[in-house]
Amino acid sequence: MKQFLQGLKDGSAIGIGYLSVSFTFGLAAVASGLRWWEALLVSMMNLTSAGQFAGITIMAAAGSYLEMAVSQLVINLRYALMSISLSQKVDRRFHAGRKMILGFAVTDEIFAVAMSREQEISTLYFAGLAVLPYLGWTCGTLAGAVCGNILPGSVSDALGLAIYGMFIAIIVPAMKKDSRILKITLLAVILSFGMYYLPGISEVSSGFAVIICAVAASAVGAVCFPMEEETQEEA
């Protein structure tokens, strides 16, 4: 129970952050033609930002189901990497049945917070960690979809930064603490800029680009600055 409460506490900031991010998703979904309950269902069943934004774009454009499947696969493939990382840090009682339920809640932020924990991750801790983000994500979507049009454009534009603010809040402290993470994250960012602006490469979809940059930079990191067992736990 103590583990569960600790999870809740660690997840509360993510939950509040998700409120604003999913609010913008609710806005965008209704603006692109979904009904409010459809927007809500998309959020309840996917719990992912980039994938959902891409999903409603494809729905609005009446894209093929194959296009939908491929876009989700590419954009969300990073979760596969995260799930492998996470599988190395969960305790022994975190068996397959629990993984099949709680694995659903692997998001960028939940994953990052779970990994920054010093101890092994128990089922109760991870469940607690996931509760408030899930609630925030669904409630924010509902609010955005139902009452979004009241909001002036400048405010909803500014809210679009909330998710990136959360990303920055995760990477900067780690970069400050560990110079290896600093170098390798900067490398990933430089690669990402390159893939975005260099002619020819910039046609690669953004989901693929993220995976290529992250895999390349992490591989360089693993070769040049391998992490010892104990530092790995901290990171």
Partner 1 sequence: MKTGIFWIYLLVMFAVTYVVRVLPFVAFHKKIENKFVRSFLAYIPYTVLGAMTFPAVFYATGSAVTAGAGVGAALIAAYRGKGLFTVAVCASLAALLAGMLLQVIG
The footprint of partner 1 on residues 152-181 (CB under 8 A) is: 154-155, 157-176, 181
Contact 107, 166 (CB under 8 A): no
Q: Which two tokens stand for residue 119?
A: 């101890």
- Residue from 8, 31, 112, 143 in contact with partner 1 (CB under 8 A): 112
Question: What does the alpha-carbon distance between residue 136 and residue 149 come to, in Å, rounded to a whole number?
Answer: 20
**In this chain, which stretch among 1-9, 137-145, 227-235 interacts with partner 1, using CB under 8 A?**
227-235
Query: Any contact of residue 203 with partner 1 (CB under 8 A)?
Result: no
Contact 109, 224 (CB under 8 A): no
Q: Identify how many contiguous H helices and E strands the chain contains and give both numbers.
A: 12, 0
Work out how close the CB of 9 gets to partner 1 at its nearest, in angstroms, rounded to a whole number. Answer: 11
Work out how close the CB of 142 gets to partner 1 at its nearest, in angstroms, rounded to a whole number. Answer: 16
- Residue from 86, 124, 130, 145 in contact with partner 1 (CB under 8 A): 86
Q: 109, 148, 153, 155: which is closest to 17 by C-alpha?
A: 109
| 149/173 with CB nearer partner 1 | 173
Query: Any contact of residue 197 with partner 1 (CB under 8 A)?
Result: yes
Query: Any contact of residue 146 with partner 1 (CB under 8 A)?
Result: no
Residue found under tokens 């110079």: 179
| 5/158 with CB nearer partner 1 | 158
Query: Any contact of residue 222 with partner 1 (CB under 8 A)?
Result: yes
Which whole-number Å values give the CA distances from 75 to 96, 108, 116, in the listed order? 25, 12, 24
DSSP letter assigned to residue 90: B
| 83/149 with CB nearer partner 1 | 83
What φ, ψ does residue 87 adopt, rounded to 5°?
Answer: -60, -20
Which whole-number Å values give the CA distances from 50 to 33, 57, 58, 98, in the listed order? 18, 11, 13, 26
Query: Any contact of residue 93 with partner 1 (CB under 8 A)?
Result: no
Residues 50 to 79: which contact partner 1 by CB under 8 A? 50-52, 55, 58-59, 62, 65, 68-69, 72-73, 76-79
Residues 116 to 135: which contact partner 1 by CB under 8 A? none
